[in-house]
Chains A and B, each alone.
Chain A
Amino acid sequence: MIKHILKNMLSKKPCEKISKIKLDEKELELLNKLKDKVLKVYGRSFRIRQVDAGSCNACEWECTALTNPFYDIQRFGVDFVASPRHADAILVTGPISRQMQLALIKTYKATPSPKIVIACGDCTIDGGIFKDSYPVTNGVHNVLPVDFYIKGCPPSPLDIAEGLITLMDIIRDKKNK
């Protein structure tokens, strides 16, 4: 065991490799912009609760991808939390299947005000490829009041970040009114 520990200590640290990642200038600029906006509107702490309402999992993976070493969204003041009680916004994915409708409404009620509903992905806008099928409700707007839509099937991590930037602008304008 000691041999293994020594070997691990002497070998190159894996973190060095990951720290070499470089995003494109454009991408980094976008994420820095997000940081500024989140700082102004939410004081560097915007917490999102993600709700899967019958999604194919691609949107979820893209949200997870936001926390990987490439984007590392936490350093820009945005994070995903495990309970709606901790959240500023809920991010809904999927065409809202009837099985998940009640769970979604309950999550909405459990989120403290002022709450924001973000619809993420084409399915949430109008049901996407599942539109008019019997087990879906054709979009979040039929269940909850929606503040913001992010389109894409699935939206890439940068699309989501870009969407959040616009969302911050909208919230700021509302505040100023």
Chain B
Amino acid sequence: MSEIMIPERAKAIRTLLLELERLYNHIGDIGNMCAGTGLQVGNQWGAYIKEKLMRLNKRITGHRYLRGINKIGGVTKDILAEKDVLIPFLNEVEKEKQAFVEFLLNTISHMERLENTGKLAKDIALKLGATGIAARASGIDDDIWLAHPHLLYDTVKFNLITEDKGDVLARMMVRSKEADESIKIIRQILERDYPKELDVTNTTIKANAEGLGFVESPRGSVFYYVKSGENGSCERVKVRSSSYCNWPLMPYAVHGNIVPDFPLCNKSFNLSYSGCDM
């Protein structure tokens, strides 16, 4: 819209932020799935690791939800300078996350509820246009970072995580493995050196220009269409949230399951109620 390219350092920071976001959401979601089976210890453990990550966010970016750091043409704060805080913290979180997932996998009451519950067949997921975790747990290799890599995703190494079974356990395992991938990506970003530039100064937005933004959020792909007005102000915004794609999958996933498993299936998709019509 203003025909600028953001500098390399801003790209690295934006990638880092996306991965931090994915990390705290995935770990929080694994914890929330325990609420569906009534496993309070797991629920609180997940909340504990999530809160730790939120406090890290607050410390390095000044906001618990990583807001206010992106701006047109770059970023506002150089969080790569907080390397010394990030690396030991990530090591700690990685260990805690492993212990947490191991505990869940060894809890029979939890695993029995997860296995073979809320199965979503691959062909249904394909037909209804599933995205994100729901698609990957059913064996579809749906990932924006592989289809349209931007930021630093074409240079960092990461694996696409898919599971074949399509049940609640598969979705939990995809989350768990992707959290590991996130930590791996963050480490790779922190290893490299970047030029010091944080942003581009010339950021006039043209009149009547259009732009499309897309990222792979923790829930799935998210699209933003923006149109500018006469004086470069924002005239139209259209959001396509991942919940919009994934809500139609729910009836197929819960079909044939016992009633108490409904909240579990619901939580395994982690869909937003407000996002169902966007």
Query: Which stretch (B48-56, B149-157, B260-268) binds chain A?
Result: B48-56
Are B48 and A1 in contact, with the CB atoms below 8 A?
no
Closest to A8 in B: B106
| Shortest CB distance B155–A (Å) | 31
CA distance A11 to B273 in the complex (A): 39
Are A68 and B47 in contact, with the CB atoms below 8 A?
yes
Across the A-B interface, the 6 shortest Cβ-Cβ residue pairs: A68-B47, A69-B48, A70-B51, A68-B51, A69-B44, A58-B65
Given contacts A15-B41, A18-B45, contact A4 B274 (CB under 8 A): no
CA distance A21 to B274 in the complex (A): 34
| Shortest CB distance B99–A (Å) | 8
Is A146 in contact with chain B by the CB < 8 A criterion? Answer: no
Are B274 and A18 in contact, with the CB atoms below 8 A?
no
Closest to B67 in A: A153
CA distance A4 to B112 in the complex (A): 13
Is B272 in contact with chain A by the CB < 8 A criterion? Answer: yes
CA distance A4 to B105 in the complex (A): 10
| Shortest CB distance A106–B (Å) | 17
Are B106 and A156 in contact, with the CB atoms below 8 A?
no
Given contacts A55-B274, A57-B272, A153-B67, contact A21 B48 (CB under 8 A): yes
- Determine which of B54, B108, B272, B273 lies in contact with A4 in the assembled complex, contact meaning CB atoms within 8 Å: B108
| Shortest CB distance B253–A (Å) | 22
For A127, the chain B residues whose CB sits under 8 A away are none
Is B64 in contact with chain A by the CB < 8 A criterion? Answer: yes
Number of interface residues of B (CB under 8 A): 22
Is A175 in contact with chain B by the CB < 8 A criterion? Answer: no
B95-126 vs A, CB cutoff 8 Å, 1 = contact: the mask equals 01001100100111000000000000000000
| Shortest CB distance A172–B (Å) | 31
Closest to B102 in A: A11
The residues of A with any CB-CB pair to B shorter than 8 Å are 1, 4-5, 7-8, 11, 14-15, 17-18, 21, 52, 54-58, 61-62, 64-65, 67-70, 153-154, 156
- Determine which of A8, A11, A55, A65 lies in contact with B51 in the assembled complex, contact meaning CB atoms within 8 Å: A65
Majority SS of interface residues in chain B? helix
The residues of B with any CB-CB pair to A shorter than 8 Å are 41, 44-45, 47-48, 50-51, 54, 58, 64-65, 67, 96, 99-100, 103, 106-108, 272-274
Closest to B44 in A: A69
CA distance A68 to B27 in the complex (A): 14
Closest to A97 in B: B274
Are B65 and A154 in contact, with the CB atoms below 8 A?
yes
Are B274 and A68 in contact, with the CB atoms below 8 A?
no
For B106, the chain A residues whose CB sits under 8 A away are 4, 7-8, 11
For B272, the chain A residues whose CB sits under 8 A away are 57
CA distance A1 to B112 in the complex (A): 12
For A58, the chain B residues whose CB sits under 8 A away are 65
- Determine which of B45, B47, B108, B273 lies in contact with A14 in the assembled complex, contact meaning CB atoms within 8 Å: B45
For B274, the chain A residues whose CB sits under 8 A away are 52, 54-57
CA distance A65 to B65 in the complex (A): 13
For A18, the chain B residues whose CB sits under 8 A away are 44-45, 48
CA distance A61 to B50 in the complex (A): 11
Are B48 and A70 in contact, with the CB atoms below 8 A?
yes
Are A65 and B54 in contact, with the CB atoms below 8 A?
yes
For A57, the chain B residues whose CB sits under 8 A away are 272, 274
